[in-house]
Structure 1
Amino acid sequence: MARSRHALAALAAAVALTSCSAPAQVPVETSRPTPSPSPLPSTLAKFTGQKLEWEPCTPYASNELSRRSFSDKSTECARLTVPLDYQDPAGDTITLGLLRRKAADPATRIGSLVVNPGGPGASGMNAAAAYARSREAAPLVRRFDLVGFDPRGVGASRPRVRCSTDAEWDADRASDSESDTSPAGTAKQLADARDYGAKCAQRTEHGARLLANIGTRDVVRDLDVLRAVLGDEKLTYLGYSYGTQLGAAYAEAHPDRVRAMLLDGAVDPAQDIAESLVTQMAGFQGAFTEFAKRCAAREGCALGRDPAAATQRFQQLVRPLSTRPVPAGNRKLSFEDAVTGTSAALYSPGNWPSLEAALAQLAEGRGESLLALADGYYSRQRDGGYAGTVDTYFAVRCVDFARLSDRAAIDAAHQRMLRGAPFLAGGTPDMSELDICSSWPVPPTSSAHVPKADGLPPPLVVSTTRDPATPYDQGVRLAKDIKGALLTFDGVQHTVFLGGNECVNRAGIAYLLDGTLPAEGTRCS
């Protein structure tokens, strides 16, 4: 099954320090009365009143990345207990992993800053650990307790979503059966999609019960329990990519419990699952076009010196892999992994030199570098193990949207995706998501809608003009819908705050510290 391009690379986005236009700042309106937070349900008292036991983070590590990240002695970790099913708070419980870096200047501490890096499926603990060491985040670390949490099913949270074994992942990626568009091939793909969902229910602890309570609806409830347990009357929140969807949903549910909310790389809650994939594919085509222009200017570009012919040249490089994979160390590079590795690198221009080198290597008949890029996307470790991020991605996506089960509508969406991203034509990246969700073993718990959060303090929405994964217009719409301020970044990457741009950092830090919003129309570049 071809896997969707979710935003695991949100924190890797980085560009050189550049200029900022319209730097003037305006304060948040203070004349509007701020309502007191509404009381929490008494049935949740045992959860909101729990005392966290903070300890060294090393035991919370579950893979190579977290083992490195969690070795920092300035951070501490704990487990937050929450109901498996909020409709049955007296029933089974699950735990969420937390990581905290306490404010460096306790005398000027504001409260907690809760971070979610996106996905769904990405680790907030890893994100917070990275920011704890970041010079760019230092002004925030000085005044806030920096807190990252692994949402239910993710990373150090227990239980985790488990659908495919490591061997099944390797075999699935090595197979290019998705390229078979014959009636028999299509039937097999649909059967594989149903089988995938069934395995998720069979192999995940609590099975269908966890899958039915893993979506944004329930993570918002967890986030409010976390806010209460941390002792914050109101939430200060930093969300990237899918984390903006989570933040917007929290704002809808609890507008009176928000202090400040910075949302970078916005997901438009009003888009259904098909439209979100169609617009995302068009965004990746735009990033590929920009990459091709840069590559074409360099001697030896594997896509040639004519950017207009780059899509055709890319297809000439990767299409033969569907029947003849090339060596990649002791493995082989399939067509699926070639387009996955390429798409993963398109998230940020910082990765483009690696992609140039990988395509040049492919032109020579070797696939190690593109396979490594795909491995990074899938969170495959050097020992061959998988972190399970993509399994969680599907588990959340399939309950966050109304189910699309009409075959004609699914096929039409597939065709629109490929028309919007011709560099991927001939394969089926992102195709199986609609198929998987159409036969998912539990029903949706959310649906697309225009968000409404009356009484919400104005949030700050950061949107990048040529963001491949969350197109610019989505941020424009979200800012309008939730009555927030829009900060525009002119660039080609997915998310930018604390990712190397001084202008965006200055505006975002000022907002999170004291509520100062950038002037209307502010653009950074």
Structure 2
Amino acid sequence: MKARKLPFAALAVVSVVALAGCSVQIGGSPAPSDRSTVSGGTAGPTSTVAGAPSGLQKYYGQKLSWGSCAEMARTDDIDEYDKTKLECAHLTVPIDYNDPGSGETSLAVARVKATGQKQGSLLMNPGGPGGSGVQQVAGKSLEADKLPIAQTFDLVGWDPRGVGASSPAVKCFSDKQRDENRLSTIAFDNSPAGITKQEDFNKSQANLCAEKMGKTFLEHVGTADTVRDLDVLRAVLGDEKLTYLGYSYGTFIGAIYAETFPEKVRAMVLDGAVDPAEDPIDSSIQQMAGFQTVFDDWAKDCAKYPTCPVGTDPSKATERFQQLTRPLIDKTVRGQGGRQLSYSDATTATIQAMYATQLWEPLRRGLTGLQKGDGSLLQRIADLYLNRDELGRYSPMMDANTAINCVDGPAVTDPADLSRLDSGIRKAAPFLDDGRGTGRAAKGTCAFWAAAPTLKPHEVHAVGAPKMVVISTTHDPATPYANGVSLAKQLDASLISFEGSQHTVSLEGNACVDGAVGAYFRDLTIPPAGLRCTP
């Protein structure tokens, strides 16, 4: 599996639905959007004769010092990578591109050199927001010899500002606080008094993050600034134009980059598309419907086994799942290493398993364990999603996810919209309905965020950019198929449809998809119109 795309952070304490690429909370939060409102008011860079934007020659002209990835491995919890192939460096960029002298941030970068004649660099982002490109490329270092694309391109990943091994990383909450939040039941009281308690909690979380990270940094942690960083990295790597592969939220980075720097795009593949134009509430509801679709697919597969924990009748699987998990709201069960499994953990584990069919069997075993009062396997799967290691340490991923989402679009604050969001999600994904809905919902953390949004929902257009490629999976739980159709239309891109039940597919061994992607990256060969690939 690739690094987490984070389409859904099932942390009951803040009732969050943190989406892949956009984020809407059952209590408010943002969605991707429009660079016309980028902090500082500038819509794009002004080039100089030297080719670098005015005042930024220092950054565009820097040289990377490649070396060991040991420090980044500790920071990003990379347990395995090929030390002979992987090398790392730090890229320096200004915190505020409109005021470069006001401060700098350091971005972690990793690469695996091309195994043959180098054609250029392939920059990659795994999604999130909050996913680590360093981790992603570290994983690819183990299979570089088997990837045809790695013969002619350096594989390059970076941790966006605020993420992973970049410095500073957004880290608002302690590991102990994270563990405690997973056990909280505050989100299940939707009475007027309960809503007030939820909003007070969410406000305190937003204030704590502002105190630890500072308002200025939080103002510049979003995608609007990340695409500027990406252009610096492109230039520093020596590539005249960008060759890019983005997954999930990484498709949003790619789309905004293409809109901002259309003349700097060489080739771009966007797999598991976020639709930048979609209303954030509609986006959340559609995403939850996608999770329900894949849950139903899993239930049909599980029904093949006589001991399936949700029964052998797929039509009753949602009801059986509710019966199995809802009691955890009032009484946890034994988890891993002396911990307790909460309702939040059980649903988070189930969501994680929807990303890839390889996790369907572990989910079946985990829910079977829950039937017997053992939640250890489900908790391990939830830990995987939330990036908690065996020592109890969390990566900055979840905090970065919130911080980026909160400035990538407006929070939902209107009570009527919050009610529509809450009821819509419960209807779209009944397997995740906790049964405690009252028609009310609290404003989420982003409604109290110190930094104002720098983007808003809009159609992206990359006038002057070359033909790009969008890949969309028919039963993608996190980024519905329709998102890819919409994004391809906005960018006038070629669309590859993959008929499967998973989140993203490229460079994972599917001959049809990888063949088309490889030919496009190497030779700029546009995939055949209407190309459909199967597992």
Q: TM-score of the superposition, structure 2-length normalised?
A: 0.89
Instruction: Structure 2: give runs of 5+ residues left out of the alignment.
Output: 1-13, 22-47
Q: Which residue identity does 1:209 align to in structure 2?
A: T
Verify: 1:453 aligned to 2:462, yes or no. yes
Describe how 1:356-371 pairs up with structure 2 within 5 A.
356-371=364-379
In structure 2, the residue matched to 1:59 is 71
Q: Equivalent pairs: percent with the same residue?
A: 45
54-63 or 286-295, which deviates more: 54-63
1:269 is the counterpart of 2:269: no
User: Which whole-Å CA distance do the structure 1 matches of 2:351 and 2:158 have between them?
Assistant: 27
How far has the Cα of 1:465 moved from its partner?
0.3
Aligned position for 2:17: 4
What residue identity is the alignment partner of 1:295? C
* Alpha-carbon displacement from aligned partner over 1:207-229 (angstroms, at most 9, x marks no partner): 11111001100000000011111
Q: Distance in 2 between matches of 1:196 and 1:135?
A: 41
Structure 1, residues 420-442: CA drift from partner, whole Å, max 9, x if none? 0011112689x989611222111
CA 1:515/1:136 → structure 2, altered by over 3 Å: closer, same or farther?
Answer: farther
Q: Is the 8 A contact 1:336 1:427 kept in 2?
A: no
Q: Which residue of 2 aligns with 1:139?
A: 148
Equivalences for 1:235-246 in 2 at 5 Å? 235-246=242-253
Q: Which residue of 1 aligns with 2:355?
A: 347
| Distance in structure 1 (CA, Å) of the matches to 2:311 and 2:413 | 42
1:176 aligns with 2:188: no
Other-structure match for 1:46: 58
Deviation at residue 138 of structure 1 after TM alignment = 2.1
Aligned with residue 446 of structure 2, among 437, 461, 482: 437
Would you say the 8 A contact 2:125–2:158 is kept in 1? Answer: yes
Query: What is residue 394 of structure 1 aligned with on the other side?
Result: 402
- TM-score of the superposed pair, with normalisation by structure 1: 0.90
Q: Structure 2 CA distance, aligned partners of 1:37 and 1:338?
A: 57
Deviation at 1:500, TM superposition (A): 2.9
Question: How many Å apart are 1:137 and its aligned residue?
Answer: 5.8
Which of 92, 102, 105 is matched with 1:91 structurally? 102
Q: Hey, what does 1:312 align to over in structure 2?
A: 319
SS of the aligned residue for 1:517 comes to: coil
Cα shift readout 1:389-416 (whole Å, capped 9, x = no counterpart): 1111111111111232212211211111
- Structure 1 position 236, deviation (Å): 0.2
Distance 1:38 1:470 in 2: 40
Q: Which residue of 2 aligns with 1:290?
A: 297
Are residues 137 and 49 of structure 1, via their aligned partners in 2, closer, same or farther at CA, if it must alter by over 3 Å? farther
The whole-number CA distance in structure 1 between the counterparts of 2:332 and 2:416 is 32
CA distance in 1 between counterparts of 2:77 and 2:305 reads: 33
Structure 1 letter corresponding to 2:358:
G
**Equivalent AA in structure 2 for residue 232 of structure 1:** D
SS of the residue corresponding to residue 408 of structure 1 reads: helix
Q: Distance in 1 between matches of 2:101 and 2:373?
A: 59
Cα 1:112–1:127 change in 2 (3 A) is same
- 2:276 partner amino acid: P
Q: 1:198 to 1:62 in 2, by over 3 A?
A: farther
Greater CA deviation, 172-181 or 287-296? 172-181
Aligned counterparts, 1:28-427, within 5 A: 39-63=51-75, 65-69=77-81, 72-105=83-116, 108-134=117-143, 138-204=147-213, 207-329=214-336, 330-426=338-434
Match of residue 528 from structure 2: 519
Query: Quick one: distance in 1 between partners of 2:246 and 2:515?
Result: 17
4+ runs deviating over 6 angstroms: none
Q: 1:341 to 1:434 in 2, by over 3 A?
A: farther
- Whole-angstrom distance in 2 between the partners of 1:392 and 1:521: 37
C-alpha contact (below 8 Å) 2:199/2:443 kept by paired residues:
no
Q: Determine the structure 1 residue equivalent to 2:518.
A: 509
Shift of the 274–38 alpha-carbon distance from structure 1 to 2, 3 Å rule, reads farther
How far 1:192 moved relative to its partner?
1.1
Secondary structure of 1:518's aligned partner: coil
CA–CA distance in structure 1, aligned partners of residues 282 and 145 of structure 2: 35
Shift of 1:63: 4.5
Rounded to whole Å, the distance in 1 between the matches of 2:49 and 2:285 is 38
**Deviation of 1:40 (Å):** 2.7
Which stretch has the larger CA shift, 412-421 or 464-473? Answer: 412-421
Which runs of 5 or more structure 1 residues have no equivalent in the other structure?
Answer: 9-35
Deviations 1:497-518 (A, max 9, x none): 0123111111111111111121
Q: Note closer, same or farther for the CA distance 1:308–1:392 as it changes in structure 2 (3 Å cut).
A: same
Once the two structures are superposed, residues 90-111 of structure 1 have per-residue CA deviations (whole angstroms, 9 ceiling, x without a partner) of: 2210100000111212xx3111
How many positions carry a matched residue from both structures? Answer: 492
- Structure 1 window deviating more from structure 2 (131-140 vs 387-396): it is 131-140
Per-residue deviation at 1:519?
Answer: 0.7
SS in 1 for 2:88: strand
Q: Report how far residue 451 of structure 1 moved.
A: 0.5
| CA distance in structure 1 between the aligned counterparts of 2:185 and 2:376, rounded to whole angstroms | 18
1:449 alignment partner AA = H
Compared CA separation, residues 513 and 60, structure 1 to 2 (3 A): same
1:488 equivalent in structure 2: 497
